[in-house]
Structure 1
Amino acid sequence: MQTNSIIELSRSAYQNNIDFLKQLFGKKRILSSVVKGNAYGHGISEFVAMAYGCGINHFSVFDADEARQVHAVLSDKVTILIMGFLSEEDLPWIIENDIEFFVFDKKRLVSASRIAKKIHKKAIVHIEIETGMNRTGFEKSELKEIITILKKDADSLIFKGLCTHYAGAESIANYYRVEKQIKYFEEIHQYLIKNELKPEIVHSACSAAAIMFPATRMNLVRVGIMQYGLWPSQEVFVAYINSKKIKQDPLRRIITWKSTVMSLKKVKSGDFIGYGTSFMAKKNMKIAVIPIGYAHGYSRSLSNHGRILIQGQRCMVVGLVTMNMVAVDVTDINSVKKEEEVVLIGNQNDLAITIASFCDYSNQLNYELLTRISKTIPRKITD
């Protein structure tokens, strides 16, 4: 565990976001907290414990490893849904612990049924339909065989959910494409019902789809980026505030990333700072070295123009971001000291380094930036 920085997660900010989403989507609709990618960089173990305390009892993950992490914290108190990868070796544990999972190929369904019979426990499956993402999901031409298996093996398979994932819901440019996907998904839903197979839950909405296409909310919404206080895209945010005729963002960012000043150094005019010759001091300068670099998720693309808060002032990154260190210009801060607090993401006094501004400096998506933050940085829940 590293001690050179810390991630703080605000419980009150998260509760604000969940209350907003429940009100927006309807209290009867299930909110599934998507915690893939180490809970979007927030830390699965710490995050799911906080989320459960805020009223969340359904979690969606990408693979069996993430499912195990959630289960280790919350065991059978919550529903866990695997949306992506699992190996056949994972299935006995998954089925035994009532972990639900997407099925998008025949082999997985057949294996699940066989193992379920062997351990005398039903497998809980969600059948994924291909509607236009062209990634995972059954084509309509494959469904006849899948229907046969689901009916024949009803003693070992629980057909819990019917699902899909829309391609491009975060952009209005994809409006007709997504509308077509929604219509097709409902056709498949009705096709299964006509074949005497009715899922308990029908779900298709991620954060973007749930905002842009309310019809996608169905029984359950898989909420990813919005629960963390961020919007899937600027388009989605603008569409929402315009529709509600409001100006203030109803979401609150829950993450703060802090470090400390490791050392201070005076640099003479004309000297270069760091590797190579990417930054030359044009005047006598004072720099602070922060023990954070690209190994921790602080992008190398922030070299020479990233910003860090010290004493409530924005300080520019000077020189190249290295594996474990970054230098910042503190020439105009007379009283800066070693071990003083540094904010890489978050607020300090009246200023903020937002995820959005961080992404603008580094040319990263907010999803990418967050998931690249090192898993070994400790996470702490704050009020």
Structure 2
Amino acid sequence: MKSWVEVSEQRLAANYRLLMEAAGAGTAVLAVVKANAYGHGAAICAPVLARAGAKWLGVTDVAEGAAVREALTSEGISSAMQPEILVMSGLIGDEAGAVVRHGLTPVVWDRQQVEWLAGAVSRAGSGVPLAVHVEIDTGMARQGVRPGEDLDELLGWLRAQSGLRLGGVMTHFASSEIAGSPQTVEQAGLFEEAVGAVKAAGLQPAWVHAGNSSTVDNQGVKNFGEGSPAWLRRLAASVGARSMVRTGLALYGYCLPIEQASVSSTKEDVVRPGVEPRLQHVMTWKTRVIGLRDVRPGDTVGYNAIFSAQRAMRLALLPVGYADGVRRELSGSDTRPGGWVMVHGRCAPVVGRVSMNLTIVDVTEILDVAVGDEAVVLGEGITANDHARIAGTIAYEIVCGVRASSRLV
């Protein structure tokens, strides 16, 4: 095995419980396990979260939902105790039958989706209506039905289908990590109008949900109003529903930094982050040294000779590269330091270009390194935030890009 991910069961469960506490009494927390649990391994993370108390899991598509359902069953979690699984990014016609077979809850926003699902329920012949969640597009312009006439039409189509029922109404905020964001205020207002339209149409959702990890973390801001879990609870209660937030990255130990809105916020508005300092990183990504080499002063290393040894050096070869998720921006050159890994608890800087499946690190100052020794690519001493800073991206992209087998520890 050239590299592997160790997932801390204790830390993952602790993060979930922390987020439940931070969201507040009366607000459920949907645990997002899409994108293979953000690179951590959905098949192992989903059962951990279920045992920690998660009543809802979120996946991208029907195939992910079916795989998560299978993982829960294979772990011995009875069907009665399994969380609901929300398919958050739509479906196409030939997936509707799998939604019904695997007991998934789809997000819908147009007539075609409603008709596909109603047909699948009719063919299944169970006589049990399928719950769907309607997504409202309040400003992302990505997916969801627009408030107003489009929403009214969709609700009419939904009412006409005896095989479907409205299980929830949801939206997604585009700027949750920005304290006092005017966009969030605007989106919240549109969502309130949409929820009111659902009530006026005579439909009764069980759930009203919005917000992500940053929504929970943003509670360190004074007077956090529209978009907050407290605001969401009030909105849900106005239609006799429960509120829910959807947390993803925070489950795995990371949050985007809370920023200030450039116009409406002042420095005094920001008190402290809500949960980020208490989150624990769940992933440790490891590999092994597969080769050692001594180089002389003046020798160049890797593609394009961007690194030249200024002294005698000992280099270790690792069997991971950008095909495995080690970003090429972590390359170290004569003019710019790159990333690093941890060997024997010490930093081993990357030298030369990160290759497709190989990376070279400097272990000159680390005693007794041998072939077969472990190297930590992500974990204690080197985090996804470190990778993201060097690569000019966000921690989401780093952890989601990891391609290695996962195991619980």
The TM-score with structure 1 as length reference comes to 0.91
User: Which segment is superposed worse, 38-47 or 13-22?
Assistant: 13-22
Residue 159 of structure 2, aligned match among 141, 148, 151: 151
Q: Structure 1 residues 145, 246: CA separation in 2 closer, same or farther (over 3 Å shift)?
A: closer
Distance in 1 between the 2:399 and 2:274 partners? 27
Supply the AA of the counterpart residue of 1:31: V
Are 1:360 and 2:389 counterparts?
yes
Distance in 1 between the 2:361 and 2:245 partners? 42
Are 1:117 and 2:122 counterparts?
yes
Supply the AA of the counterpart residue of 1:164: T
Per the alignment, residue 235 of structure 1 pairs with 259
- State the shift of 1:303 in Å: 0.6
Supply the AA of the counterpart residue of 1:71: R
Are 1:266 and 2:294 counterparts?
yes
Per the alignment, residue 49 of structure 1 pairs with 47
Residue 105 of structure 1, aligned match among 105, 110, 119: 110
Per the alignment, residue 4 of structure 2 pairs with 6
Residue 180 of structure 1, aligned match among 179, 182, 186: 186
- State the shift of 1:338 in Å: 1.2
Over 4 Å off, 4+ runs: 244-248
- State the shift of 1:100 in Å: 0.3
Residue 97 of structure 2, aligned match among 92, 96, 103: 92
Distance in 2 between the 1:41 and 1:270 partners? 39
- State the shift of 1:196 in Å: 0.8
Supply the AA of the counterpart residue of 1:157: L
Per the alignment, residue 406 of structure 2 pairs with 379
Per the alignment, residue 138 of structure 2 pairs with 131
Per the alignment, residue 379 of structure 2 pairs with 346
Supply the AA of the counterpart residue of 2:257: S
Distance in 2 between the 1:73 and 1:246 partners? 32
1:50–1:381 CA contact under 8 A, matched in 2: no
Per the alignment, residue 221 of structure 2 pairs with none
- State the shift of 1:315 in Å: 1.2
Per the alignment, residue 294 of structure 1 pairs with 322
Per the alignment, residue 167 of structure 1 pairs with 174
Name the SS for the 1:295 alignment partner. coil
Q: Structure 1 residues 245, 93: CA separation in 2 closer, same or farther (over 3 Å shift)?
A: closer
Distance in 1 between the 2:309 and 2:38 partners? 37
Per the alignment, residue 244 of structure 2 pairs with 220
1:264–1:288 CA contact under 8 A, matched in 2: yes
Distance in 2 between the 1:108 and 1:295 partners? 36
Distance in 1 between the 2:362 and 2:190 partners? 56
Distance in 2 between the 1:189 and 1:248 partners? 31
Distance in 2 between the 1:35 and 1:226 partners? 11
- State the shift of 1:27 in Å: 4.3
2:293–2:315 CA contact under 8 A, matched in 1: yes
1:95–1:124 CA contact under 8 A, matched in 2: no
Residue 200 of structure 1, aligned match among 206, 215, 219: 206
Are 1:141 and 2:149 counterparts?
yes
Supply the AA of the counterpart residue of 1:152: A
- State the shift of 1:125 in Å: 0.7
Distance in 2 between the 1:28 and 1:246 partners? 18
Q: Structure 1 residues 245, 114: CA separation in 2 closer, same or farther (over 3 Å shift)?
A: closer
- State the shift of 1:245 in Å: 8.5
Supply the AA of the counterpart residue of 1:70: V
Distance in 2 between the 1:89 and 1:247 partners? 41
2:293–2:314 CA contact under 8 A, matched in 1: yes
Distance in 1 between the 2:38 and 2:367 partners? 37
1:209–1:216 CA contact under 8 A, matched in 2: no
How many residues are aligned here?
369
Distance in 2 between the 1:216 and 1:165 partners? 12
2:66–2:102 CA contact under 8 A, matched in 1: no
- State the shift of 1:98 in Å: 2.2
Name the SS for the 1:133 alignment partner. coil
Q: Structure 1 residues 90, 248: CA separation in 2 closer, same or farther (over 3 Å shift)?
A: closer
Deviations 1:153-186, CA, capped at 9 Å, x for gaps: 2x211110111111122123x7111111111111
- State the shift of 1:248 in Å: 8.3
After superposition, the CA RMSD in angstroms is: 2.0
- State the shift of 1:233 in Å: 2.8
Name the SS for the 1:48 alignment partner. helix
2:214–2:258 CA contact under 8 A, matched in 1: no
The TM-score with structure 2 as length reference comes to 0.86
Higher relative contact order (CA 8 A, sep 6+): 1
1:264–1:338 CA contact under 8 A, matched in 2: yes
- State the shift of 1:209 in Å: 2.5
- State the shift of 1:243 in Å: 3.4
2:217–2:255 CA contact under 8 A, matched in 1: no
Per the alignment, residue 255 of structure 1 pairs with 283
Q: Structure 1 residues 246, 40: CA separation in 2 closer, same or farther (over 3 Å shift)?
A: closer
Distance in 2 between the 1:334 and 1:136 partners? 54
Q: Structure 1 residues 119, 245: CA separation in 2 closer, same or farther (over 3 Å shift)?
A: closer
